[in-house]
Structure formats: structure tokens, C-alpha cells
Amino acid sequence: MIPFAFASHWSLSVLFQSLFQHRYAAHRMYTMGPRTERALHLSTALVQGSSFLDPRAYAIMHREHHAFADTERDPHSPAHHKNPLRMMLQTARRYAGLLTGSIKSEPRFLGGYPEWPAVDRLFNQWTTRVAFGALYTLFYKRFATRRWHWALLPMHFVMGPVHGAIVNWCGHRYGYRNFASRDESRNTLPMDVLCMGELFQNNHHARPASPDFAAKRFELDPTWQVMRLLARLKLIRIAQAPQGEQAARGRAPLRENSGGALAASPSL
């Protein structure tokens, strides 16, 4: 029961991060009605629980990452840190500053992200984070049957930042490159299911507006498959087709190596 619950929480948490905070809040890769947006916003908050990432702060910091990828101004580049922990600390400091307003970003990185003050405020409170942590602990108390199960518990508290650190560290350090982008981005796994497509960093940096992070035949982007399903159910509308499909339909190809995160963002 516990390993299954852990795997489910891991997969869902990173799926919602990829689907909502990354591809919607930061990039606007799809549009949807206001009620669907609210439903997705709330679902993301409930699934991520203790480690909910504020969509506005996430979007701003992620746009900075695309614009300054692997330079001194990148908020989280492994090229400028000795280990993942130091990179996480710097990321956390900038994220907290953007969240509270003590750090101001450039105007070009602002706007176009979903904001729901009541939910964002509630889920960013420490009392809410601790309450979710207590719920996870009660669940483990009820269902843990082996001592090693308890070693998994702390991960539930910090899942969001851990997913971000894995993607930012590994995705800019290990793996292969399909495109000669200006940054150090890599595709870490040929079949990235552990991080729902987020580890196709090289493909994504080269084609920041393409909703499908897979670029080669052997690559599979799980979040893109979920987006296709949601689009088929008419819950979302994909803003721009992936490059392969676009070429087949005779439309203009996506810009490559633009370094811009915001090609799909209407406000920037």
C-alpha cells in the first residue's frame, strides 16, 4: 500500500507541476475556460499539498530560467553550484522573495499566469503545509507495514522542490542533446516517465513553445499525452501544435534556439 501511495503521489505531483505551473502558468501552452482553470488550480493545490508551488512565483522564476539559462543570472543552474543542495537553497531564496514581493523581477516576466488569491494564500501558509504533513503521517501510521516505509514519509513534505531540483540539476548536466542550444540543457532519459516529460530539457529549451517535449521517435512525453486527452475531451485548447504536426499541416515551424520561454505566452 505505502509504495503504491508514494508512487501515486510522486507521479501526480510532478504531473500537475508540469501541466499547470510549467506548461500553463509559465508558458501558456493551452487555454481553458475560467471554471476549468479554477478546477485545475485547486486540484494542483490539493495534490501538491505540503509542497504546493505558487503559480505566479513559479512562472516568473521559470521565465527567468529560460531567458538566462546557465548564465550567472539563471535562478537555478548546476553550472554555478557545487551540489544540488546549494542550488536548491538559492532557488528557494529567490522563490520566497518573488512570493513575498521582496524581490522584484523584470516587467517582461510578469503577467499571463493564473492567480487565485484565496487559494494561493491558504496553500502558501505554514499551517496548511503542516496540516498536510500531519495527514501524510496519519496515513503512514495506518498503512505502513515495514520499517523502511517510514523512510519515504519526509519526501511527501518536499516533493515539489525535489522534483524541481531533479529536473534543473539532471536536465542541465546529464544526458544527450538533440539540439545545439546556447545553454547546457540535456535530455536525461530516453523514456522520461519519472518526471512526466520534464527531463527533456534540451528539447524544451530549443523549442520553448512546443507543447510536446519529445522530439525523437523513441522519446515519449507523458504530460503531452495527458494534454492531448484533455483537449480531446474539450477541457483545454492547445495553443500551438508540436513542430512535427505543424510541419505536416504546412504551418510555420516553431522558432528553435530562441532562448525565449514566452513564445506561447500571449502577454509577453
Task: Name which of 13 and 202 has its Cβ closer to Zn ion.
Answer: 202
Task: Name which of 201 and 203 has its Cβ closer to Zn ion.
Answer: 201
Least distance (Å) from Zn ion to the CB of residue 204?
6
Q: Does 181 bind Zn ion (CB under 5 A)?
A: no
Site string for Zn ion, 194-233 (x = CB under 5 A): -------x--------------------------------
- CA 180 from centre of chain: 23
Q: How far apart are CA 166 and CA 172, in angstroms?
A: 10
Least distance (Å) from Zn ion to the CB of residue 46?
24
Residue facing Zn ion at closest CB distance? 201
Q: How far apart are CA 73 and CA 162, in angstroms?
A: 21
Task: Name which of 49 and 112 has its Cβ closer to Zn ion.
Answer: 112
Least distance (Å) from Zn ion to the CB of residue 72?
15
Least distance (Å) from Zn ion to the CB of residue 69?
6
Identify each DSSP E strand in 136-255 by its residue range.
237-238
Least distance (Å) from Zn ion to the CB of residue 138?
36
* Secondary element (H or E) of residue 30: strand 30-31
Task: Name which of 87 and 152 has its Cβ closer to Zn ion.
Answer: 87
Q: How far apart are CA 99 and CA 22, in angstroms?
A: 16
DSSP, res 173 = T
Task: Name which of 50 and 201 has its Cβ closer to Zn ion.
Answer: 201
Task: Name which of 48 and 201 has its Cβ closer to Zn ion.
Answer: 201
The site that binds Zn ion (CB under 5 A) totals a number of residues, namely: 1
Closest to 266 (Cα-Cα) out of 15, 21, 25, 22 = 25
Closest to 265 (Cα-Cα) out of 248, 240, 243 = 240
Least distance (Å) from Zn ion to the CB of residue 258?
12
- Burial label, 37 (beta-carbon count in 10 A; 0-12, 13-18, 19+): middle
Which residues are at the interface with Zn ion (CB under 5 A)? 201
